[in-house]
Every structure is written in structure tokens, then in C-alpha cells.
Amino acid sequence: MKIPDTRLDATPSGSWELPEELVMLQDTVRRFMQKEVLPLEATLEHDAYEVSPALLEPLQAKAKAAGLWCFRTPVEYGGAGLSLLGQAVVAEETAKCRMGAYVPGCGAFGADAPNAIFNGSPFQIEKYAKPATERGKKVFVAISEAGGGSDPARSIRTVARRDGDRYLIKGSKMWITGAGDADWGIVFARTEGGDQRGGITCFIVDGDAPGMTTRPIKTIRSYSPYEINFDDVEVPVENRLGEEGLGFAICEKWLVEGRVPYAAATLGIAEAAMKIAVEWAKERQTFRTRLAEKQAIQWMLADSEIELRAARLLVYQAAWKGDLSQDMKLESSIAKVFATETAGRIIDRCVQILGGMGVAAELPLERWYRELRIKRIGEGPSEVQRMVVARSLLGKAGG
């Protein structure tokens, strides 16, 4: 299947209906999930977060054959090259599995390398980007640090010192997804003499670089992010991504755009939870009547549906502006905070509707509940997104 260009026209008709090509793609992904992914996932343990190579490789081969591979990666590098709107729609569908948004489609659709790498040199793309797409190399992005707040421009204390034709990186990073077994990663460090936004540089670091160690951090999820320590880790100059001191622009672009599919994926989980709750309400009887006949349950489901639709439109709006190459920072923040908080409320209601079964491991609701709680923190917590919105309204008076 050839993935179409799914960017919205610059002068939309006023309808928020998705383009026909994107509706077809959405349906294709949905059917693939139902036919191939969900039956396989049903054979795994409740808290499993990876699929064995023996099961994953045939699954990925089917996805590749269907043209459903590395949705964010540009076409010229082996991916689908979807627009932000396309990424949002697909992220929502691929999150509708027990592994949720952390392992979309249980890994069936490959793992996109961070888009920042495609702004790199031909050497960097050939050595790092292409293998990530073609052979499923694992990658991490290291921004957050233990002693910092939620503003990466000011909180980065990891330093990179130039020493001839190499840099020496020293410091640590926290809450880094996938760092334990990654083949390489993108690390943001402060170059000497720099401060705030002007002093951050971006580097590509090999996963087995001497002096780099990782430690898993247990969380409420079934899998762990990592702490990474850098003890004078040598990075050749040719592994610097972009110009020295200009790494914050790369960081910010990656974060702003990434919040769109991130937010969309939480809505996919919420919609899947709603489906379970609706069916339960239709069938479950208490005090001689079905739950569906009780106004308290009806209103919980109604509120969830209303909020879900509103959140989806905010995500689409942010994607639309991004696809038109317009400044989408405000819309991205609005979509992220509203979608993640909405999904959290919906999953909480669904758990309540199912009562004891809502927290039982027989169903995915309690696992989704744990995941969605973290989504309000990752990719910039709700409080930071509200700061972005407030500053947009108040200007300099907002701090």
C-alpha cells in the first residue's frame, strides 16, 4: 500500500472531516491491529512490554508488506513520511492495544528514529538513521536531568568539552526511555561557555560508548525509563548534530512536533477503554436493571464522549497548523495538556463503571490507567504547557 500525502489544504472548506485518503489509511491500520496485533498480544502476559523476535519479525514483515512502516520517517529513508495529521490519526489507532502508546501496535510498525537525525549530515544519516529504519535499531533521546525543572533550556547541566577532534561529555540524564538496550541516542549537553538556550549542543552517542552507563528506574508502569551517566564519554566531532550552541532549536522542534502524536495516542487508549465500558454497561445488571439504564452511568459515558471529541479536534488543529508550516507551539501545548488530562479522566470513569473488574488484570483498563497517569508528565508536564498558554496570552507580563 502506498501511503498518500495527507496534508490538509491551506483553505479548508470548514469541514473537519478527514481526507478520504487518510480515512482509508486509518481503516487499514485499524484492520491490521484487529487481525494481526491484538490476537498476538492476547498470548502475552498482562504486563508484557515487548514481543519476542520469533513473533515480532513475522508481524513486522506483514506490516512492511502493507506499507505500514515507520510512519514518521521520511519516504526517502524508508518510512511512510506521514504528515503530522497522518501521524496523529495513526498514533490513535496503534495505541489501541494493551501495550498502549509506549509500544504502538506491539512494535509491528517499526520504531522511528528521532526526526532530528534527518537534519544531520549525509554521514550521520547513512550510519545512524537508515539502520534504525531498515533494521529496527533502537534509539533514545536524552534531555531531562535529575536536578533540573521542566525547562530544558535552563535545566541542562550535562556538559560537553571540546578536545581537538572530539568532545568529552560529562553529567547525567534521567527518565530516558529505551536507553538500556539502545544502539545509539541523541544527547543534549551544554557546551562550555554557553548559558541557557545559546549553550546547548546536540550529539549522537553510540549505545556502547565507553564511560556511558545506564540504570533502570522503577515506575508504576510495567517497564522502566533509565538514568544515564556520562563519565567523559568521547564523541567525535562528526557526531555533533547541527552547529555548536544551536542544539536548543533542534530540541524544541522535536518536542513541539512530537506532542501531537503523543497526545493523539492517549485518545486512542481512551477510546478503547470507552468501548469496553459501553459494552459492560449494556450487559451488566445490578438491582435488576442494566447499568446502561442508570443516569449516573449514562452521564459518565456522555461526558467522556464529549471530551474525547473535543480533544481530538484540538489535536487535529495542532497537526493542521504544523502541516502548513505555521507556528504551532501554542496549539501543540493546548492539545497535549487537554488530550492527556481528558484521557486520564475517561479511563478513571471507565474503571469506576466496571468496578472490581476495572482494576483486575483480566482487562487492560488498570494498565492503561497507570500509563495515562504518566502521560500528564512526559513530553512536558501539564503545568509547563499551561505556562506556554499563559505567556501567549499575557506576553512579557506572564514571566
Final residue before a domain boundary, out of 198, 224, 241: 241
Final residue before a domain boundary, out of 241, 258, 278: 241
Whether residues 337 and 353 share a domain: the answer is: yes
264-289 pLDDT per residue, tens:
999 999 999 999 999 999 998 888 88
Do 220 and 229 touch, CB atoms closer than 8 A?
no
178-210 pLDDT per residue, tens:
999 899 999 999 997 555 556 899 999 999 999
In this model, does residue 16 exceed pLDDT 90? no
Whether residues 254 and 390 share a domain: the answer is: yes
Whether residues 328 and 375 share a domain: the answer is: yes
Do 178 and 140 touch, CB atoms closer than 8 A?
yes
From the list 305, 366, 379, 383, the catalytic residue is 379
Select the more confidently predicted residue: 325 or 137.
Answer: 325
**pLDDT at residue 5, rounded to an integer:** 53
**pLDDT at residue 37, rounded to an integer:** 97
Query: Which three three-digit cell numbers place residue 194?
Result: 554557553
**pLDDT at residue 101, rounded to an integer:** 87
In this model, does residue 147 exceed pLDDT 80? no
Whether residues 196 and 59 share a domain: the answer is: no
Whether residues 236 and 373 share a domain: the answer is: no
203-239 pLDDT per residue, tens:
999 999 999 999 999 999 888 999 999 999 999 999 9
Whether residues 265 and 392 share a domain: the answer is: yes
Per the structure, the count of domains in the chain is: 3
Burial of 296 (0-12, 13-18, 19+ CB in 10 A): exposed
Where in the sequence is the domain holding 151, given as residue range(s)? 139-241
Mean pLDDT for the stretch of residues 354-371:
96
Whether residues 281 and 306 share a domain: the answer is: yes
Q: Is 379 annotated as catalytic?
A: yes
d(CA 126, CA 100): 31
Percent of the chain having pLDDT more than 90?
Answer: 76
Whether residues 144 and 100 share a domain: the answer is: no
Residue 65 counted as domain residue: yes
Closest CA to 99 of 56, 134, 156, 160: 56
Burial of 174 (0-12, 13-18, 19+ CB in 10 A): middle
Phi-psi region of 94 (alpha: psi -120 to 50; beta: other; left: phi over 0): alpha
Neighbouring CB atoms inside 10 A of 326's CB total 10
CATH number at residue 46: 1.10.540.10
Residue 181 counted as domain residue: yes
